Each structure stands twice: as structure tokens, then as C-alpha cells.
A and B are shown apart, each in its own frame.
Chain A
Amino acid sequence: MMPISTTGVLAEFYEPAEALAAAVKVRDAGWTHFDFLTPFPVHGLDDAMGQKRSWIPWATAALALGGILFAQGLQNYVMVYDWPMNFGGKPHAAWPSFVPVTFEAMVFWAALGSAAIAIIAGKRDTVPQPPPDVPTGATVDRFVLWISATDPKWQAEGAQQFARSLGAGNVRLINGGADV
């Protein structure tokens, strides 16, 4: 499950460029438990928020290697040792015929494994999100900053003032799932 924080501050921006500028300021002010909810992917927002590069490509590479080893091991075991058969007089360990299966197993392991890891890691490693029953403009036309109360710097008054100082509109404290 996605982690949820029942307390935090929501603040709205009206342009992607404003959200980008605000993200840099939030990051530079030392906040760590904050996120942006946007109607569409904003190019460069992850950089502006100071997010690190994902480690998942390394998992993909390891899974791809695993798929290769699995397919090579299986085919060599079955075709050479366990049940050798003669196909058109070709050698039992005929490497060209092993390539398609090896390739497909590599893709299969890497793709499905990466997707599963991305879903699990995405839910686990994300900043605690606002309660889902709180309406934000992010599904329509607003670029919404969320500062979670789980942030070590958290102070209800301070967070709201900070959000206002960024030029955000509709700054509000969320507490227990409803506007306060």
C-alpha cells in the first residue's frame, strides 16, 4: 500500500514553470517529505525536486543476466545431457538454435521483473501521500505541492508560511483527511 500521511500542507500553482521554480526552493530549504501532484508529467520536475537516479536499471541488468543464464542452462541441460536428439544432423549443443530462447528469456525476466520491482519499490519508497479523499486541483489544471507532516522540519504554521512565500495559492492545512 502507498504510505499515507493524514497531516500536511497542500498548496497550488497554476503553471508548470511555477511548480518547477517552487520545487527547487522547497528542496533548497531542506524539506525532504514533499511531493508534487500534477495533471500531466512535468519535464524536469524530478531534477528540480532533487530526486536521485533510480536504482531499478541495475535490477533490470541483473534480471537480464539471470534470464540468459537460466535459458542457457536449461537448453544445455535438456538438449545435451538429459534428452539429446538429432535434429538435421546438427550438434546437440548447437549454439545458434539456443539464441532465440536465450534472448526471449532475457527480455521476459528483465521486463516482468523490472515492472514488479518498480511497482513494489514505487509504493514503498515514496513520500507519504495526502489522504485520497482530499480534493486537489491536480486532476484538472493545478500543480499541487504537498508537504507531509512526517518531514523532520515539520511545523504546521511554518510549512504554511513557507508555501505562501513561494507564491502558491490556496495554501491549506490538511489534518485527518479533511480541510482544517
Chain B
Amino acid sequence: MSASHSHTLPDAPGRVGLPGLVQGLAGVAVLVGAAAIAWAFSHDATLAWSTYLIGMFFALGLGVFGVAWLAILTLAGSAWSVTMRRIPEAMTAWLVPGGVLAMLVTFGAHSLYHWSDTEAVAADALLTHKAPFLNMGMFGALVGGSLLLWVVFATWIVGVSRRQDRDGGMAATRTTRNASAIFMVIFALTLSIVSFYFLLSLDAHWFSTMFAVLVFTDVLQTGTAFVAIVAGLFVSAGVLKGFLNENHLHSLGKMVFATTGFWAYIYFCQFMLIWYANIPEETVYFLRRADNGWLPYMLLLPVFKFVVPFLLMLPRAGKRSPGRLVPVAMLILFAQFWELYLMVGPAVGHGGEAAHAHLPLVEFAGTLGFLGLFTLVFGWALARHGAVPLKDPSLAECLEYHS
């Protein structure tokens, strides 16, 4: 009796897209976001570009997470994730439109980045010192190059997966393994560069050795939360019945849980190193975010991003049951918006024009717009191919997976 006899494959689900309701909601979100950004541009360019930057980076993080997650899962040899692999694959589809939208930030550089003003740089010794890195030419070259590398690796890894869908065999798995190993190195470097230019350089005088790894934890936490929402909705709707169940969701929930703990670890690391050394050019980051009404917003960040998700996901059912995991994952997405707001909001405007805390309604609408657009692109990419990689060599192990 061979393994193929003892295991009958469930009926192949064919192609699965997002339900019409979700697509409709995403469409409404796009309209709301576009309206908010347009309104902001007619009132206050700084507010408009801050809103744009927050939403753009939120969605870009989800896009690059797709490639990074495929690479991590491949290198970890995680058989449990085979039947949900189409989700990160479809997330990478955002990298082309998302990359173009990211490069548009150059048009708003003067509203956002102090260092893009050559006169201000000439009058400032520290900015002059940093000018070889912080200038628009390097911004375009390094960020553009990074985004291009992400697209190249996404196309490569997803393309190989398509080839395996057609031809089967182990060759595709081996190629993916090599591509993933290379991408992990490239991802570490390029995500650092992209986070430095888009977010860290908002406070051009300030620096933090923890910043890139903090953005990395953000990308992982938010990305796994997004996958958990989609997979959770699939499980509760029974879309991939026989292929995806609570056991797979449990493992994914553990990843959301782990990245939530990891985020707290890294954010606290950044805070504690700065608090402990107590050097003025470092503490300015948190002093700025304690002044002008920002403190309550800052204190809510660890609540949204760590305390509540951690406690809700601590019980076993919190990671297994879609009804309990999906709302927590949605909270994590909101918390990511909150964190980006606290990275960008207090940083724009200087001296007497320092930004004051406000309820981020425009910013939130803008981020909803980007998330909506991301969801539409994601849904389109998801529905283009069979919902389960039926020829993956680890499929049998994945179907029997218990957690």
C-alpha cells in the first residue's frame, strides 16, 4: 500500500478570489482615501504628503512582505504553509504599482524632508556631513534600485511557483530555495535603505541603529496579520475545504503572535538604549513625541500593537479560531497605521512650526485608500491562478498537518 493510496486528495478548489462584498468595500475605501488626499492637497501640502507617505509605506510593507515571507517559509522548510502560499504570492503583485506610487514621494520631498532643501543643508553642518547619502539623486537611485530588486525577486520566485504548477517536480523547489537565500540578504539591505530614506530621514538629525530592524518587525507583524485575515476568512467560509483548516491557521497565528512579541522587544530596545545613554541628539526623538500633545498617542502605541494582541492571542483558541484571530489581526493592521502616524506626524514641521498632535482622520482615510487599492490588486492576482499549489512536493505533509 503506497502513500498515494492511503491519501485521497480533496476536490481541487480551482480559482478563488475575494468575495464581491470585500472588493466593494475596498473600492469604497479607495474613493474615501483619494477624496481625503485630494482634500488635504487643497488645504495643506505637508498634511497631504504625510498622509500619502503613511498610506504608501503601509501598503508597500505588505507588498514586500509577500516576497520576504515566501523566502522565509521556503528556507524554513515549512510544509504547513503550502496550501496558503497563494496569499503571499498575490501580495507581491502590489510591488509594481506600489513601487511607482512610492517613487511619487519625490514630488513631495520638499514638504516632508528637511534635507531635500539645499539651502537648509548648506546652513547645517550635520546635514552637510550627511549630504552624500541624503540627497535626491541618491534617494532616487538607492530607493528605485531597491524597489526594482524586490520586483525582480518577486517575479522570479512567483514565476518558479507557476512553473511547478504546470510541470511539477523538485527542480522548482530547489530554485526557489536558492532564490530565497539570496533574497534574504538583499532584503535585509534594501529594506534598511528604504526605511532610512522614507521614514528615518524625516528626522534628518536623528539616528537609531534599531530603526531598520524595527521596520522589519513592522513588516513581518503586519504582513502575517494580513495573511491571517485572508486565511481566517477562507477557513470560516470553507473556501479551501480539505486544504486549509484550523491547524494551518494555528501555525500562522503563532507567527502573528511571535512577531507581536518581537515588535515589543525591538521597540523597547530602541527606547531603552536611547533612554539609558541619555544623549541629546538621540533623546530628541522621544522628547518630540512627548511634547505638543503627542504623549497620549505614544502611550497608546504599545497597547494597540502589543498588549491587547498579545493577551488575546495567548490562549490556544486565540490563534486557531478564525472568529478570534481575524479581529486581532485587524487591530494589528490599525496599530501599524498608528505607528506610522507616530513616525511621520511628529517629524514634519520644525521649531515654532512643530507639528501638534491631532486625531489622524485624514491620515487614516488615506491609509484606508491605500489598503483598499492594495486589496483590489491582491484580489485580482489571487484569482488569476489555482488556489492551491497542487504539485508542491510538501502538499501531502501539509494536508495531514496537525498543530
For A103, the closest partner residue in chain B by CB is B265
Partner of A17, one of B7, B268, B271: B7
Contact: A16 with B401, CB < 8 Å?
no
Chain B residues positioned under 8 Å from A97 (CB to CB): 272, 276
> In whole angstroms, how far apart are the Cα atoms of A100 and B272 in the complex?
9
Number of interface residues of B (CB under 8 A): 14
CB distance from B235 to the nearest CB of A (A): 17
B278 interface neighbour in A14, A17, A47, A88, Cβ under 8 Å: A88
Assess the B275–A96 pair: CB atoms within 8 A: yes
Smallest beta-carbon distance A137→chain B, Å: 15
Q: B402 contacts A47, CB within 8 Å?
A: yes
Q: Answer yes or no: A18 CB below 8 A from chain B CBs.
A: yes
Q: Which parts of A66-116 form the interface with B (CB within 8 Å)?
A: 88, 90, 96-97, 99-100, 103
B278's nearest neighbour on chain A, judged by CB, is A88
Q: Are B6 and A16 in contact (CB under 8 A)?
A: yes
Known: A14-B1, A43-B401, A88-B278. A99 touches B7 (CB 8 A): no
Q: Say if the beta carbon of A44 comes within 8 Å of chain B.
A: yes
Q: Is the CB of A44 within 8 A of B402?
A: yes
Say whether A17 contacts B401, CB under 8 Å: no
- Name the contact of B402 in the complex, choosing from A17, A43, A88 (C-beta under 8 A): A43
Query: Which among A17, A18, A43 has the greatest number of chain B C-beta atoms within 10 A?
Result: A43
Q: B167 at interface (Cβ–Cβ under 8 A)?
A: no
User: Contacts of A103 on B, CB cut-off 8 Å?
Assistant: 265
Q: Which residue of B lies closest to A97 (CB)?
A: B276
- 24 A-B contacts (beta carbon < 8 Å): A14-B1, A15-B1, A15-B3, A15-B6, A16-B6, A16-B400, A17-B6, A17-B7, A18-B1, A18-B6, A43-B400, A43-B401, A43-B402, A44-B402, A88-B278, A90-B278, A96-B268, A96-B271, A96-B272, A96-B275, A97-B272, A99-B268, A100-B272, A103-B265
Interface residues, chain B, CB within 8 Å of chain A? 1, 3, 6-7, 265, 268, 271-272, 275-276, 278, 400-402
**12 extra A-B contacts, CB within 8 A, seeds A15-B1, A17-B6, A96-B275:** A15-B3, A15-B6, A16-B400, A18-B1, A18-B6, A43-B400, A88-B276, A96-B272, A97-B272, A97-B276, A99-B268, A99-B272
